[in-house]
Amino acid sequence: MQHDEQKQLSLGGAMLNLYPDSLGETLSQAAAFLTQDGVKGAFSALYVLPSLFHTDLDRGFSVIDYGIEETLASRTDLDAIRAGGVSLKLDFVLNHASVQSPQFQDMIARGDNSVYRDFFIDWNAFWQGKGELTREGYLQPDPELIADMFFRKPGLPILMVRFPDGTERPYWNTFYQEVRYPRLSAADWANILPLSQREAESLAHLVNAALDAGKKPAGIDLPEGISVAAIDALESRRTYLGQMDLNVKEPLVWAFYQETLKKLASYGAKIVRLDAFAYASKIAGRRNFFNEPETWDMLERLRGMAAQEGLMLLPEIHATYAEQTYAEIARRGYMTYDFFLPGLLLDALETGSGALIARWAKELKKNDFRVVNMLGCHDGIPLLDLRGLVPDERIEQLIETVVARGGYVKNLYGQKNAYYQVNATYFSALGESEQRLLFCRAVQLFMPGMPQVWYLDLFAGKNDHEAVLRAGAGGHKEINRTNFSSERVEEALRMDVVQQQLNLLSFRNTFSAFGFDAKLTLTKESESTLTFTWEKDGCKATLDADFSNATFSIVGIDAQGSTAFSMRID
C-alpha cells in the first residue's frame, strides 16, 4: 500500500478536499462516496480538514489536540479510505493551539509550577529590556522594534492571562481571542460574599447587565466595600476562547511537533499541510512573518522529523508573486501551493487571453516546481497573491466582479490595501456558468501540479448567503462551506456538470500521459487559444482551450495509438 501511495503522489493525481461532515454527517459517508460507481478512480488522495481532530474554533483550525473527533470520524473511516486506494492529506497547525489545549489548561491551573509555563510565549519575557511596562501590566515595545512587524489584528497581539496567584500575564496571541465572564446568580453571590438575599439579587442584576453590555469587571460601578472581592470573584472564574502562539524556542514544543507528526502518520497520512507556519518564528524588530533564516531552519528540522514518519510536507503560505516566496519554497525541495491559478483563470476568462496562464505553466514546468493547484478551497479566492503577475487595476476589477456576483471581501481591519481574498464559491465567482466551471476544471487538470478539488466546486455549489447570516460576525467564509446531506449528494451526482467533471478527473487521475515527470508542450496560436500537450510512456493527452468563449476539446491517445478519452464543450 505504501509503495502504491507514493507512486500515486509522484504522478500528481487528483485530490478531493472536504470537511469530515461535508458529504453527510460523518467521514464514513465521504469514504463511501469515494467508492461509488462513477466516482471511484476519480481521486487518488483525500484532504480532510482539521475538524477531523478535537477543535473548538474556525471550523477546525483551533486544535485542542490531534485525537480524532469521534462524532465526525474514526480510524475505521481512515482505514477504509486508504483501502480504497486513496491517500490521505492532513493538517498540522504549527503556530498556535487552542486555549482548551491540555498544555494551556495546565499552565493556567498550575501557573509557574506548570511544566508548560514556557510552551506559550510570555510577551513580557520576549520583550524584556526592549520596551516600557504599561499600567495594564504588559510591555509596550520600543516603536522602532514594531514599526515593520505584521500583526493580524489591531493593537498588540496579546491576551492577558490570569495565573492561580491572581497575577495577570500577557501571552502572544496572533489570531482569535475572547474572554468570557460568568453570569452569576444571586445564590452564587450569596455564597461568595457576605450578602443578604436582597443584596445578592441586586448585585447579580447589576453585574450581569453590565457584562451583557460588554463591560469588563473593573469597569462596573460596584458598591463600595465589596468591589475588590466581586471583581476578583469574576476574574478568577473567567474563561477564554482563542488560539495561543507556541514558543518554538521551547524543547517541549518540538517534542509536541514530533509527537503530532507521528500521530498523523499513524492515521495513514502521506502529505501534511503546514498551516500558519510562517508566523511561528518570532524575532524582536523583524517582520513577524516568515522571518529568515529562522523559518527555513524550522522547516528543515520539521522535514527531518517528517521523513522519519514517511511524510511529505506541504507548507501553506500566502505571499504575492512579486515576493517570489513560492519559488524559494519550491527551490528548497518542498511542494507548495499554486495560489495564483484561481485568480489567473478568472482573469483569463474576463480578458479572453490565455497569455498569463501559458506564462505561469511554462515557469512551473521549466523550474520543476511541484505544486498543489486548485479552483476553490475552504478559505477564499486569493487575488492579492497575483500582484507582480497581474496589473493592480485588473486585480481590483476581479475583486469588484466577484463581489458583484455575490462574494464578500476579506480584509485586515478594514484597510483596502490589505485585501487578502474574496469569499465566494468558485462557481458563483464564474457567474454560475456550468460551461465556465467545466472549462476551468479542464485547464486546472492540464496545468502542472497536483489538482486539488474543493467538494463544493465539484457539485457546482452556489454562494450560501444564509449560512453567512447564521454564522454572524466573522462568518463570511461560510459562504463556501455548505454541508451536503447524503440525499443532496445523490441528487448532485445526477447533474451533467458533476458527471462531466468526474469523467475529466478519472481521465486525469488514471491516464499515463500526466505526472510530474511527464513532458508538457504549450502552443499559443492566438491571444485567446492555448494548447496543452502532455506526453509520457507513449501516451498523449491534448487540451485545446479558447479563453474568449470557454470552449475546449480534450483527446487522450494511448500507447497503442487508440483514442482512450475525448470530450468537447462548445
Catalytic residues: 275, 316
Q: What are φ and ψ of residue 133, in 5° steps?
A: -75, 130
**Angle at CA 423, nearest 5°, toward 392 and 325?**
50
Query: Which residues share a beta bridge with 409?
Result: 422
| 293: preceding bond cis by omega (within 30 degrees) | yes
Alpha-carbon gap, residue 428 to 405, rounded angstroms? 6
Per-residue cell: 328:
524559494
Per-residue cell: 51:
475538524
Q: For residue 84, which of 48, 121, 30, 134 has the smallest C-alpha distance?
A: 30
User: Is the Cβ–Cβ distance between 481 and 19 less than 8 Å?
Assistant: yes
To 10 degrees, what angle do helices 355-367 and 341-351 make? Answer: 150
CA 164 from centroid of its chain's CA atoms: 35
Instruction: Say whether 436 sits in a helix, a strand or coil.
Output: helix
Q: List the beta strands (DSSP E) in 158-232.
A: 158-162, 168-172, 177-180
Alpha-carbon gap, residue 442 to 564, rounded angstroms? 16
With cell 476539446, the residue in question is 553
Burial of residue 149 (CB within 10 Å: 0-12, 13-18, 19+) is middle
Element (H, E) at 32: helix 27-34
**Angle at CA 152, nearest 5°, toward 327 and 334?**
20
Per-residue cell: 289:
512573518
Q: Per this entry, what is the length of the chain?
A: 570
**Residue 308: which residues within 8 A CB-CB, separation 6 or more?**
none
